[in-house]
């Protein structure tokens, strides 16, 4: 059996820091999976009213990550820092609007707020996915 080794780029090859492969790119799917698991745990803890010291922080993470992730998916064209700032700001705005609407309608509850933010985040994400699918499908013309 033969082992294939990839030589690391040296300084004389002319490869600059922007040309080197990103070592952390492989960790992004793992990090995204962990974030989804933590957010799901927060939603479950909030919706089932389980007493746990992790309920508050995990629910707060879910309330920021669910709409923030959906908004970040919609803003693919922005640079990374602009996308992060816009998605966090959008997540805070969604949470504030849900809280304001529920308080104005005298329907405030933690479960209802988490459910409303979940639905809004899912709707944004589904709209983004529908837009991507519509752009990918080629239009067939029959003559």
Q: Within a domain: residue 141?
A: no
Q: Within a domain: residue 19?
A: no
Domain that holds residue 79: 28-136
Q: Within a domain: residue 115?
A: yes
Q: Within a domain: residue 15?
A: no
Residue 45, C-beta contacts closer than 8 angstroms, at least 6 positions apart: 52, 54, 55, 58, 59
Q: Within a domain: residue 124?
A: yes
Q: Within a domain: residue 7?
A: no
Q: Is 75 exposed, middle or buried (0-12, 13-18, 19+ CB in 10 A)?
A: middle
Backbone angles phi, psi at 111, to 5 degrees: -60, -45
Q: What is the pLDDT of residues 89-139, one digit of tens each?
A: 999 999 999 999 999 999 999 899 999 999 999 999 999 999 988 888 776
* CA 18/CA 11 separation, integer angstroms: 13
> Residue 9's pLDDT band (boundaries 50, 70, 90)?
low
Half-sphere exposure of 39 toward its Cβ, with a 13 Å CA cutoff? 19
Q: Within a domain: residue 142?
A: no
What average pLDDT does the structure give for the chain? 85
Q: Is 41 exposed, middle or buried (0-12, 13-18, 19+ CB in 10 A)?
A: middle
Q: Within a domain: residue 5?
A: no
> How many domains does the chain contain in total?
1
């Amino acid at each position: 059996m033969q082992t294939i080794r990839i030589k690391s780029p040296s300084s004389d090859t002319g490869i600059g820091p922007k040309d080197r492969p990103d070592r952390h790119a492989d960790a992004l799917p793992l990090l995204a999976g962990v974030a989804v698991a933590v957010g799901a745990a927060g939603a479950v803890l909030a919706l089932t009213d389980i007493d746990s010291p992790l309920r508050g922080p995990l629910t707060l993470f879910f309330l920021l990550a669910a709409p923030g992730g959906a908004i970040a998916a919609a803003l693919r064209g922005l640079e990374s820092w602009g996308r992060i700032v816009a998605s966090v700001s959008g997540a805070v705005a969604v949470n504030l609007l849900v809280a304001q609407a529920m308080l104005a309608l005298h329907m405030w509850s933690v479960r209802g707020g988490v459910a409303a933010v979940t639905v809004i985040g899912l709707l944004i994400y589904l709209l983004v996915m529908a837009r991507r699918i519509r752009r990918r499908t080629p239009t067939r013309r029959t003559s």
